[in-house]
Amino acid sequence: MPSTLLSPDSPARHRSQDLLEQFPELAEVPGFPQARILIEYVLGRRSGELDVSGRATEGTFVDAEAVVRLPHEVLIVDDGQGLQSRLLSEIVPVRTYNDRVDEARTVAEVADQASPIDDLAVFAPEAQEVWAIVNAPKATHALAETIAAIQAHVRTIIVIGRSDSMSRAVNKELARGFARVDVSPGVGKHRMIIGSRSLSSPSLPSFPRHSRIDHPATGPLQVRAHGACFSGVKSDEGSAALLTALAAESEPAEAESSETRLAEAGPGSPNSVLDLGCGNGWLLTAAMQVTAAKKGTGVDVSKSAVASARETAEANGLEVEAILADATDVQALTGADSSVRAGGHDLILLNPPFHQGTTIETDTAAGLMRTAAELLAPEGRVLTVYNSHLHYRETLERVIGPSEQVARTSKFTVVRSLRRG
């Protein structure tokens, strides 16, 4: 595949190279190739050297006066490293949105010229020609919700990502809101899929999505999920295994029915449940029902997850506090304005992620365990579920305190940890 969208003698390519040479320290940072493609695309469109698909115009008439300042503004969605925002800010006004609060913090540090927005639902630009750049998410529903939120306000949406992860589903989602969908040439391992000519009557999906999850411990519960929320409206196997173990621990000795169990707190029943990494909120809601806890708190780094958790609880007649925060950063989580307190939580649930893209990583899990150790009340317990091959029990023992296996399935292990001392 070619290494650039532009020809060797292209004026836009020279301008692009001049710009990128001002930031030599960024060349080895992950995400730089995609940022470079976007710079070339914008400059190539402005010069009339590239058409909307990112291909050479090759003598086709281009109204130079009409394209010279395009776009007037760019919205960049989920720029994890901040490189796109930093570099594009040199040639066009940039606004940014990140679903993850940790990535939003990175963008603010790297691209302080860009203007962040907190909610795509309130995005209402004043510029006439606005383009959106969306970094291809793993979940199609995340892309669908982004397009639904911004389609009415932008002329063009550019979805950028690795070629091997850009499925036809991207084309289909763009076609719901745009009359034209183009696939750019591949540049290295990356490409763009571009929607333009926005439809006046688009067929866009609505969010959050609605469904039910049925588990023996609770019966069917309503679940709500926004597009970028992990596991969507489904229960992942790990959460189901954790809930089964929790229900077994919470069963009152003389309970005669499931109604009795839900109405009466069993021995050692917690006053509150704290879920670090709450996702769609189903596990938190189910845990409150199983234990008859009066208070539920969910923490997640994702705005979509926090909204989903709150709406899932409401759909089941419960109220929870859903906090947008990095649950591995205990100091930020327990700040002056937070209701989360060190030593103040008697049941903590952990279902830590273990993938970063396609790579197995355990740093996030270790961070969540450290946070749980700080937040656990003296008589409280932490229930952790994990893929059995990860062997987290020794870490839980070291970080939190005495730990024992309470359940195991063909894939998952559930461990109960008590506070040391």
pTM for this predicted structure? 0.92
In a domain, 5, yes or no: no
Considering the domain architecture, whether residues 188 and 219 belong to the same structural domain is answered as: no
Considering the domain architecture, whether residues 182 and 217 belong to the same structural domain is answered as: no
Considering the domain architecture, whether residues 176 and 282 belong to the same structural domain is answered as: no
Average confidence (pLDDT) per 10 residues, the chain, 421 residues: 88 95 91 96 95 90 78 97 96 97 96 96 91 95 97 97 93 98 96 97 97 97 96 92 94 48 51 96 97 96 97 97 95 86 94 63 88 95 95 95 95 94 68
Considering the domain architecture, whether residues 107 and 240 belong to the same structural domain is answered as: no
Amino acid letter at 216?
P
Considering the domain architecture, whether residues 214 and 310 belong to the same structural domain is answered as: yes
**Distance between CA atoms of residues 113 and 42, nearest Å:** 18
pLDDT for 252: 59
In a domain, 203, yes or no: no
pLDDT for 63: 79
In a domain, 2, yes or no: no
Considering the domain architecture, whether residues 133 and 257 belong to the same structural domain is answered as: no
Give the structural domain span for 402.
209-418
Considering the domain architecture, whether residues 374 and 236 belong to the same structural domain is answered as: yes
pLDDT for 62: 76
pLDDT for 258: 43
Amino acid letter at 375?
L
**Distance between CA atoms of residues 77 and 71, nearest Å:** 16
In a domain, 227, yes or no: yes
Instruction: Output the CA–CA distances (angstroms, integers) from residue 213 to 139, 207, 309, 316, 359, in the order listed.
Output: 20, 18, 14, 12, 29
In a domain, 4, yes or no: no
The last residue of a domain, from among 151, 178, 198: 198
Number of domains in the chain: 2
In a domain, 84, yes or no: yes
Please write the tens of the pLDDT for every residue from 142-183: 999 999 999 999 999 999 999 998 999 999 999 999 999 999
Considering the domain architecture, whether residues 101 and 165 belong to the same structural domain is answered as: yes
Considering the domain architecture, whether residues 101 and 173 belong to the same structural domain is answered as: yes
**Distance between CA atoms of residues 250 and 345, nearest Å:** 17
- CATH code of 345's domain: 3.40.50.150
In a domain, 321, yes or no: yes
The last residue of a domain, from among 173, 198, 223: 198
Considering the domain architecture, whether residues 137 and 257 belong to the same structural domain is answered as: no
pLDDT for 360: 55
Considering the domain architecture, whether residues 233 and 187 belong to the same structural domain is answered as: no
pLDDT for 356: 54
Q: Is 159 helix (H, G, I), strand (E, B) or coil?
A: strand
Considering the domain architecture, whether residues 175 and 32 belong to the same structural domain is answered as: yes
